[in-house]
C-alpha cells in the first residue's frame, strides 16, 4: 500500500493525559451536557459495542464497520459478557488511540471511558490500546483489524489491479497527484492493469480493497518501542501524605503481598502494564490512576504497550501469574 502522505507516527506519545480540571475536561463536559446519550442502553446485553470520538462527542460506530479503525481517530470499544455459569454481566472497556490521533481525541476517549465505567457502576475493567500494539484480548474481538487514514489518498498496487482510495478529508491536489501516479504505473505496464478510483464514503467494507489491508506497512519500525530491560517494576501511587506521590517500590516478580489495599499500584511488566486499585484507595488516587500509568510510560522506551486497570478482588485469575512471568 503506497501513501502519498505519511504523517508522523505516535506524535501524541510526547504529551500527557492531564485531563481533570483542565480546559479539555471543561470542553468535554460542555459537549456532553448533563447526560451522555451514547451510553443509553450500553452494556445491557452481551456483545461488542464501539464508539468513535468526533469533536469531543461520542458517536456510535456502525456494526458493519467493526474491525476498521482510522489512524487519525480514537475509539471506545466495550465487550459485554457473562462468565461461564455466571449471571451478572461483565464488561471490558478499551480506549483505542490511533497513531495520528490528537491529544483532544485520545484525551476525550480516556475521559469518556472513565465516564462509561461510572455509568456501569464501576463494574468494567478499563484498558488502554495503541494502534499496532493492541492486546491479545482486544484483537480477539475481530477477525481482522484494518487501519486507514481518512485525511489521505492511498494507492494499492495488486499487480493486475490498481486502486486509488480517496479519504473523506483528502484534498484535490492529493487526489490529482494520486491519479497521475496511477496513470504512470498503468503506462509502465502497457495498460494491462485494471484501475479503479474508490471514495471512502461510498466504498462498502466488503470491497476487495479493504480485504487486502490486513497488515501494517512493512516500513513501520515498531521494534523501536520494545523494552530493552525485561524486568518487572512496581510503582506506588498514594496521596496519604496530603500530596500525590509516585515512587518505585521494587524490581522483580510481584505477588499479592507487595500490594497495599490503601493505594494504587502500577506494575510495568514491560510487554504490558497493569494498574491495580486497592479497596481503600482514595477518590483522588483512583481518578488519577490511568493518567499516571500513561504519563509514566511516556518516559520509558516502551510507551505504547497495552494498559489494563483492575480493582482489588476483581482481578482475572491469571493476573498474578502474568505479572510474575512477564
| 3-class secondary-structure state, position 33 | coil
Instruction: Report pLDDT for 284.
Output: 87
What is the pLDDT, as a whole number, of residue 25? Answer: 58
Instruction: Give the residue carrying C-alpha cell 495488486.
Output: 158
pLDDT greater than 60 at residue 326: no
Q: How confident is the model at residue 115 (pLDDT cuts 50, 70, 90)?
A: confident
Summarize the confidence of residues 249-255 as an average pLDDT: 90
pLDDT in tens, 11-32: 655 555 555 445 555 565 545 5
Check if 153-213 and 233-324 are the same fold: yes
* CA-to-CA dists, residue 173 to 42, 76, 149, angstroms: 42, 33, 17
Superfamily for the 233-324 domain: Severin (3.40.20.10)
Q: Distance between CA atoms of 72 and 11, rounded to whole angstroms?
A: 11
The conformation of residue 297, written as its DSSP 8-state character, comes to H
pLDDT tens digits, one per residue of 162-216: 999 998 778 888 899 999 999 999 999 999 999 999 998 888 878 888 888 755 4
Q: How much helix, strand and coil, in percent to the nearest 5, is found in the chain? A: 30, 25, 45
Cα separation, 49 vs 42, whole angstroms? 8
Distance CA 94, CA 53 (A): 13
Going from N- to C-terminal start, the domains of the chain cover 34-142, 153-213, 233-324
- Classified by CATH at the fold level, domain 34-142 comes out as Severin (3.40.20)
Average pLDDT over all residues of the chain? 84
Residues 6+ apart with CB under 8 A from 214: 144, 145, 146
pTM of the model: 0.73
Contacts with 258 (C-beta within 8 Å, 6 or more apart), sequence order: 234, 249, 250, 265
Assigned C-alpha cell, 186: 498503468
Q: What is the DSSP string of 147-212?
A: EE-TTSEEEEE-SSEEEEEE-TT--HHHHHHHHHHHHHHHHHTTT-SEEEEEEGGG--TTSHHHHT
Angle between helices 283-298 and 103-119 (to 10 degrees): 150
Q: Residue 48, Cα to own-chain centre: how many angstroms?
A: 15
C-alpha of 223 from chain center: 18
pLDDT surpasses 60 at 3: no
Q: Please give the pLDDT value at position 85.
A: 87
State the sign of the Cα–Cα–Cα–Cα dihedral 279, 283, 287, 293. negative
Confidence of residue 139 (pLDDT cuts 50, 70, 90): very high
DSSP string, 60-122: EPPGGGTTEEETT-EEEEEEEEE-TT--SEEEEEEEEE-TT--HHHHHHHHHHHHHHHHHTTT
pLDDT, average across residues 282-311: 91
> Looking at domain 153-213, what is its CATH homologous superfamily?
Severin (3.40.20.10)
Instruction: Report pLDDT for 77.
Output: 98
Amino acid at each position: 500500500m503506497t501513501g502519498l502522505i505519511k504523517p508522523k507516527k505516535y506524535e501524541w506519545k510526547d504529551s500527557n493525559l492531564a485531563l481533570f480540571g483542565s480546559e479539555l475536561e471543561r470542553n468535554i463536559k460542555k459537549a456532553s451536557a448533563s447526560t451522555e446519550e451514547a451510553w443509553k442502553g450500553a452494556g445491557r446485553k452481551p456483545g461488542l459495542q464501539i464508539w468513535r470520538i468526533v469533536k469531543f462527542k461520542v458517536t456510535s460506530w456502525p456494526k458493519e464497520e467493526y474491525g476498521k479503525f482510522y489512524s487519525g481517530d480514537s475509539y471506545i470499544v466495550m465487550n459485554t459478557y457473562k462468565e461461564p455459569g455466571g449471571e451478572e454481566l461483565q464488561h471490558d472497556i478499551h480506549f483505542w488511540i490511533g497513531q495520528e490521533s490528537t491529544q483532544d481525541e485520545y484525551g476525550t476517549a480516556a475521559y469518556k471511558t472513565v465516564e462509561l465505567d461510572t455509568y456501569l457502576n464501576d463494574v468494567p475493567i478499563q484498558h488502554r490500546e495503541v494502534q499496532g500494539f493492541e492486546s491479545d484480548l482486544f484483537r480477539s474481538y475481530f477477525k481482522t483489524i484494518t487501519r486507514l487514514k481518512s485525511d489521505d489518498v492511498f494507492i494499492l498496487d495488486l499487480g493486475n489491479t490498481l486502486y486509488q482510495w480517496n479519504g473523506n478529508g483528502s484534498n484535490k491536489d492529493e487526489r490529482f497527484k494520486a491519479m497521475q501516479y496511477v496513470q504512470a504505473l498503468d503506462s509502465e505496464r502497457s495498460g494491462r492493469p485494471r484501475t479503479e478510483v474508490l471514495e471512502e464514503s461510498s466504498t462498502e467494507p466488503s470491497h476487495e480493497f479493504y480485504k487486502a489491508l490486513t497488515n501494517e506497512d512493512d516500513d513501520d519500525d515498531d521494534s523501536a518501542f520494545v523494552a530493552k530491560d525485561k524486568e518487572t517494576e512496581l510503582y506506588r501511587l498514594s496521596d496519604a501524605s496530603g500530596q500525590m506521590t509516585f515512587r518505585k517500590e521494587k524490581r522483580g516478580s510481584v505477588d499479592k503481598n507487595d500490594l497495599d489495599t490503601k493505594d494504587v499500584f502500577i506494575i510495568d511488566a514491560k510487554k504490558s502494564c497493569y494498574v491495580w486499585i486497592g479497596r481503600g484507595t482514595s477518590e483522588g488516587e483512583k481518578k488519577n490512576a490511568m493518567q499516571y500509568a500513561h504519563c509514566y510510560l511516556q518516559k520509558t522506551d516502551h510507551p505504547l504497550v497495552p494498559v489494563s486497570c483492575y480493582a482489588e478482588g476483581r482481578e482475572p485469575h491469571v493476573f498474578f501469574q502474568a505479572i510474575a512471568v512477564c
